[in-house]
Amino acid sequence: MKPLPLIFLSTWLAVATATTAQPNADTDAFGVRYLQVMLGTLDTSEAWTISDSAGDIVSTDWNELIYGGVAVQLSSNGGRLQYGLETSGLISFQTDASVFGRSDEDGLEAEIEVDNEFLLLDFALGGFVSYRPWPGFRVYASAGPAVMFGTMSIDDGDVEGNRDDIDFDPDGRETDVDAGLYARVGFDIILSNGFIVGANARRVEGELDFKDSGVVDLDEIQYFLTLGLSF
């Protein structure tokens, strides 16, 4: 486990007692049933591509994206089987020095290094269903529409290398918005004081076209640790 998720999990466990909790018996009022703080990653090793001067698609060794955000699940029933609405907001930001490389038939390589700055906002609103086979544990799934806003900043002076073979001419900051569908599955361990610890996997269909700065394809599985509260 990487240091950041480990610190995130350890801090939360320090304030919780590892015993089981009873399900919420209030089945009348529609309101927040679960609040989750999410920290996760997305493999983007081949997500960012550009078209070189020969018209070939070239990908880079982009670092994985780190996501942080919040998800809220609302329902009017508090029994073992629950269903209702889910809304979430995620953010990811990174600065990186990425290398695009290409080899020809003779094995000759051309490379350029690109300093870049990337910001992503991901908002979703869907439905969820969850089941608690016993009081201290539940599994859930959710799905619905999602909207992604992304911006990438690359100045012409941030590109170094053999630009005669890989023709890449970014134009400062580019922005794009895309809409798609998301799906999420996960589990929560519910403690006696209402704290929850869990994990989930999420996938969203999304592609951001930054014109001269390339295309970022985000259609991969995201993995999250979740900490939060049960109401």
The whole domain housing 171 covers: 31-119+126-178+200-230
Strands (E), 19-80: 31-42, 48-51, 57-59, 65-75
Rounded to two decimals, the pTM is: 0.79
CA distance 26 to 17: 23
- 153: in domain: yes
- 5: in domain: no
- 44: in domain: yes
- 12: in domain: no
- 17: in domain: no
pLDDT in tens, 123-132: 999 999 999 9
- pLDDT number for residue 222: 96
- 10: in domain: no
| H-helix or E-strand spanning residue 3 | helix 3-13
**Phi and psi of 162, rounded to 5°?**
-85, 85
- Domain count for the chain: 1
- pLDDT, averaged across the chain: 82
Q: Which two tokens stand for residue 202?
A: 């999420």
Which parts of the chain fold into alpha helices (H)? 3-13
Q: Widest CA span of the chain, in angstroms?
A: 71
- 168: in domain: yes
- 2: in domain: no
CA distance 160 to 141: 45
DSSP designation for 212? G
- pLDDT number for residue 127: 97
Which segment of 63-67, 135-139, 164-168, 211-215 scores lowest on mean pLDDT?
A: 164-168
pLDDT in tens, 44-55: 888 888 776 666
Cα dihedral sign, 73-76-78-79? negative
